[in-house]
Amino acid sequence: MAISTISFGRHPEGKEVLLYTISNKNGMQVSLANVGAAIVSVRVPDRQGVMADVVLGYDRAEDYMKNGSFFGVVIGPSANRIGNATFCLDGTTYKVDANAGVNNLHSHKDKGWHKRFWEAQTGEDSVTFTLEDTAGNMGFPGNKKVSVTYSLDEENALKIHYHGVSDTRTILNLTNHSYFNLEGHDSGKIVGHELQLAASRFTPADAASIPTGELAEVKGTPMDFTVSKKVGEEIGADFEQLKFAGGYDHNWVIDGWDGTLRHFATLKAPESGRVMEAYTTLPGVQFYAGNSITEQTGKNGAVYGLRHGLCLETQYFPDSVNKPQFPDCIFGGDREYDSVTVYRFSTI
């Protein structure tokens, strides 16, 4: 295992951003950056041994300060949506940024953790990024300290270990927003990818993507991925939930969630034979099919567009803070935030 570093640009705070690359004996490489604790590239072999980068992203740190699609970055303190950009905690009402109509998405588009500079420390097979955030920033309570550790093993598994503490109770719901395309980041649409989810229920949402509070069965609907099928097979179906979101952009409820590491997804790319198996300790996953990627230039001049990558964002459910029936995303005091997500790569 080896870790190398090169300059990746400069953060608006004036600090130099480094690109950290972890390599294993199989030639797999994962590159990470201080800006947003981002996964910048993941290079894995296909069935013929040909390497390709399978995540969307940019060539320079400066481009991650725009990044309207949130390519590769860590979202926090609150991933996904908060209805009416408001929540009540211990008798106090908090108002956060209304940046998606009247609702809140990913904490704050400019001040969120995805655009912050994270301090970094390397280990033998890992890079740990750390961040501190003050009470009241973006409207969230609590002085928070968080870390995200990326590690790579010799079985081509990328592990993400999140940890967070706060001096008062607050929302801590972190995720990584990587977009995967197992044929290669520059290979076009992912509608031919085959996906299986260990999730027999999902959380239906309204037209603004705020969950209704219901847990609905996927059986008999286009939301059913309990048996592997192509992403594009039913994405255009005449189904209200898909029409609301312009395709798949919903939270699936991971079967049997008990806080232990569980296999929740298998993604296959038929042409290259690349496979990604995903595991998490969290209760939900936002499967997003890249319905809103605007045409733009990414790494090595690649042009990204609609559905050129998909996300499997592990998380507490959207708007959990306002839905007491959902798993509790409030941490702080004696309750520390701790979660693990793993993406393991292989071939068929």
Catalytic residues: 177, 313
What are the residue ranges of helices labelled H in 179-248? 240-245
- Annotation: binding site for beta-D-galactose: 80-81, 177-179, 249
d(CA 92, CA 157) in angstroms, rounded, equals: 42
Rounded to 5, what percent of the chain is helix, strand, coil? 5, 45, 50
d(CA 92, CA 241) in angstroms, rounded, equals: 33
Q: Is the dihedral of CA 227, 232, 233, 234 positive or negative?
A: positive
In one-letter notation, the amino acid at residue 329 is C
Closest CA to 69 of 235, 231, 292, 248: 292
Parallel, antiparallel, or unpaired for β 92-95 and 104-105?
Answer: unpaired
Q: Residue with structure tokens 């993604």? A: 267
Closest CA to 186 of 340, 35, 55: 55
Non-local CB neighbours of 88 within 8 Å, separated by 6+ positions: 94
Structure-token pair, residue 74? 């860590």
Non-local CB neighbours of 259 within 8 Å, separated by 6+ positions: 281
Closest CA to 174 of 111, 103, 114: 114
